[in-house]
A and B are shown apart, each in its own frame.
Chain A
């Protein structure tokens, strides 16, 4: 069994170690946010963070991922509050949305290591294919995400989904779930 950490949880995959990480995530872990677009590393729709680097999960075997820390789009933030997620919505850098999770992961990795990227930095760090053609908006969105990460700007384009008091109480210990009753 291949062991790794996926979205902060220890996971053991009972699968052929030659299985591409993408299929383990999608089929075994039901983390379907990472997409199959080509299977051979051309499109980037399957990008996940492996020890903080944005990599194409279709090109990594389970064996190669052993012991690594994997973050998928589902684990990037619990409430889509990550600056890249907020900026992508605000700048309308989304159309059909199929390539979006991969782009978000590539951009998140960039912002993590360089929260003030130049246009050239963004174009280099985000090689993902998008057939709808959101490219002209990506540079703006990702630079804006960088500003948010640097606390220079705030966006709330994608509010957290249906937060009930119980959820809020889990996140903020000072709140008491029963006080909402």
Chain B
């Protein structure tokens, strides 16, 4: 049976807090931990499939044009080679998150250097890779001089109408204090540790596909469309995903290619992207150029707020890095101008990388706020406190909850923030200047439709089933805790099955919406189960107390069920509530850095984040998400940067040696404060997302700390030693 909730108003019943099991929110270890530390958790490429062929993608060596001819015969005589697949259904790009349609086809049409164009299939991986490298391909290539490659030199198009209120130019000239600054951020890669991979099996009618994906509920639609196969004839499985960070939101090239090959050859086919291919063929975060105009009165109240950003993407892609997403509501001002524009260029596809938008928009905004604070002579924390709006500045909607002020205050206190007058270069240890900086954090709250089935079994255990994924975020943990809390079972009695499209459609993992969305579906199912149990006991559901497998006093659940399983499918949908509230997670970052006066190297000594994101479902996994976000903040601030060849737009640093993700020695002790709250408008479990908030502004805190340490104001991220050195005052 199905229980449905379309949320049109805040859920103030706060049912989870009325339960007695006491597992919700607790710092429980993840149930998938033991499998992961023993190497037995099966990731996609680990599955042993009988008679499996290996496929290796062939990638384009031109920027734009068409494949004129693929000389399959040039490799078919090589040892072990079985086929060269260049089917019309092969995809040229990965799908954007939630696209629900096939990505760009056919792969023969080339739009960027390094695009997959064909698949070579052989008995062994080594044979396939060798043949893929030898394959002779003729192209009809467009002249390089006709192809726009540089986002700076390409005329952009506006992404939308933008936001315009009052007269920003006038506010700038009449303000007591103002800043007009331009920032640049470079592209980022998700660089999940597990490369994209798929194993496809075709039995003549049905496809079974192991793949490393974040959103099976969307991916099955995209795959069906790409292959022209019915959804009901496809089974997608993704029980363990080695990190996603946006890169596995949409169906990607290797999965479609493995399916096409398996269908054509009648044998299972495995395709694992090389690390270089993951860099080249999967989404990049767009580079950005951002202009910040901030105007404040004598008290530091903002009267003007301008944030304009230019990003880039391939022609035909709807996605534009939503740089201004949180700028829309973070600070109040009467005169506002926000505008996003997109340059159409032929670099690899731009798409979602952890915290699309805020990851780069917030650091620039928060760096500019620091300059304004200095000009106005106001403490940076105080400047933010003075500009928190009481409702959405342009839409006028109330906030569902708002913890920015608490996060700023609690964070400052825990960090030991000195609110006295600030001046750079006040502290030195040997070669190192030492300084502190802070920034606000904000990230929109997203929530999606989701379904999950919960079965309360006659033996007193529960089974939670959904095609939702756990990409390292802790889905296995929190769904067990929600069901355990609602049904009065210790988490050891709850089995969570995920990542299989034979199960009810979840929300997918993306945009930090997974926990709140699919958690709400589990909640809805459990709530109905409680009603049915209450009916059996003969009391109202509100009076039913479930704990440790009993329904009050000596009544055991197993006796109450009397051999019968109870099963409910929970279906959650966000309703009109989305039009009534502005919902977001808020927070504050504090950082202490040291900058080497001779080399310009920056090291983060310590960092603290305070975050308010509704109910904490599991204190351990939530903290992990915050720590991970802060780690990404440090990468975005100091090291991460995609670099493109100016001649043909190919990605130059397409491996982990040249694209610098933070390493163990880069990350100091990080402190996380969770400012707990209940947000009844965000979801019926009063929770919001936390996967991305930890990197929405953190790089700005580091930029501000660098200035405080050594007096170098930087306007480019990442703040590499060469950039710091050239910005150091004499």
Contacts and interface: CB of A to CB of B under 8 A. Distances in A.
Nearest to A100: B36
A97 B663 contact: no
Contacts of B38: 33, 73-74, 76-77, 80, 85, 158
Contacts of B545: none
B275 interface: yes
Contacts of A157: 29, 33
B37 A89 contact: yes
Contact of B34 (A34, A72, A92, A159): A159
Interface stretch (B66-74, B378-386, B620-628): B620-628
B631 interface: yes
B125 A131 contact: no
A135 B662 contact: yes
Contact of B628 (A32, A80, A132): A132
Given A42-B656, A133-B628, A138 B664 contact: yes
Contacts of A123: 664-665
Contact of B195 (A23, A37, A90): A37
Contacts of A161: 34
B277 to A, nearest CB: 11
B215 to A, nearest CB: 16
Contacts of A16: 126
Given A137-B627, A138-B664, A35 B242 contact: yes
Contact of A38 (B27, B125, B275, B473): B275
Interface residues of B, number: 63
A96 B272 contact: no
Contacts of B33: 88-89, 92, 94, 157-158
Interface string A84-126: 1100111010111111110010000000000000000001101
A27 interface: yes
A19 to B, nearest CB: 8
B37 A88 contact: yes
Contact of A133 (B37, B45, B473, B632): B632
A136 B37 contact: no
Contact of B667 (A37, A39, A135): A135
Contacts of B37: 73, 80, 84-85, 88-89, 94, 100-101, 104, 158
B420 interface: no
B274 interface: yes
A36 B193 contact: no
Contacts of B244: 96
Contacts of B29: 89-90, 92, 157
Interface in B17-51: 27, 29-30, 32-43, 45-46, 48
B39 A96 contact: no
Please report whether the interface of chain A is mostly helix, strand, loop or mixed according to DSSP: loop
Contacts, number: 178
B194 A95 contact: no
Interface string B639-657: 0000000000000000111
B192 interface: yes
Contacts of B662: 133, 135
B275 A133 contact: no
B193 A80 contact: no
Nearest to B38: A80
A143 interface: no
B39 A32 contact: yes
A142 B281 CA distance: 36
Given A97-B472, A129-B661, A89 B34 contact: yes
A32 B46 CA distance: 6
Contacts of A57: none
Nearest to A30: B48
Contact of A129 (B193, B195, B620): B193
Given A43-B656, A92-B30, A129 B663 contact: yes
Contacts of A99: 193, 242
B275 A39 contact: yes
A158 B33 CA distance: 7
Given A30-B48, A89-B34, A159-B34, A40 B631 contact: no
B667 A136 contact: yes
A138 B29 CA distance: 15
B665 A98 contact: no
Given A80-B37, A127-B663, A135 B631 contact: yes
B508 to A, nearest CB: 16
Contacts of B227: none
A45 B36 CA distance: 12
A131 B669 contact: no
B34 A158 contact: yes
Given A132-B624, A136-B627, A97 B656 contact: no
Contact of A42 (B34, B39, B41, B657): B657
Given A73-B39, A95-B472, A43 B193 contact: yes
A38 B669 contact: no
Given A95-B472, A96-B472, A133-B632, A126 B195 contact: no
A92 B618 CA distance: 12
Q: Among B33, B124, B663, B668, which residue has the most Cβ atoms of chain A within 10 A?
A: B33
A100 B36 CA distance: 7
Nearest to A160: B34
Nearest to B473: A95
A133 B667 contact: yes
A126 to B, nearest CB: 6
B525 interface: no
Contact of A131 (B124, B126, B193): B193
A98 B630 contact: no
A23 B627 CA distance: 33
A166 to B, nearest CB: 20
B247 to A, nearest CB: 10
B199 interface: no
Contact of B193 (A26, A77, A96, A137): A96
A130 interface: yes
Contact of A135 (B35, B190, B274, B664): B664
B39 A33 contact: yes
Interface string B237-252: 0001111110000000
Nearest to B607: A136
Interface in B486-520: none
A131 B631 CA distance: 9
A45 B193 contact: yes
Contacts of A97: 32, 35-36, 41, 240, 242, 472
A63 interface: no
Interface centre among A45, A84, A100 (most CB of B within 10 A): A100
Contacts of A39: 274-275
Contacts of A95: 243, 472-474, 624, 628
B191 interface: yes
A26 B97 CA distance: 32
A158 B41 CA distance: 14
B191 to A, nearest CB: 6
Nearest to B669: A136
B428 to A, nearest CB: 23
Which among A27, A39, A101, A130 has the highest number of chain B CB atoms within 10 Å? A130
B664 A98 contact: no
Contact of A27 (B125, B190, B667): B125
A80 B664 contact: no
A132 B472 contact: yes
27 contacts: A23-B125, A23-B126, A27-B124, A32-B39, A33-B38, A38-B655, A43-B193, A73-B38, A80-B38, A92-B623, A94-B37, A96-B192, A96-B242, A97-B32, A97-B240, A98-B243, A123-B665, A132-B628, A133-B627, A133-B628, A133-B631, A133-B632, A135-B663, A135-B664, A135-B666, A136-B627, A157-B29
Closest CB pairs A-B (n = 6):
A33-B39, A96-B472, A98-B242, A133-B631, A97-B36, A73-B39
Interface of A: 16, 19, 23, 26-27, 30-40, 42-43, 45, 72-74, 76-77, 80, 84-85, 88-90, 92, 94-101, 104, 123-124, 126-138, 157-159, 161
Given A76-B38, A96-B241, 4 more contacts: A30-B48, A34-B39, A97-B240, A136-B631
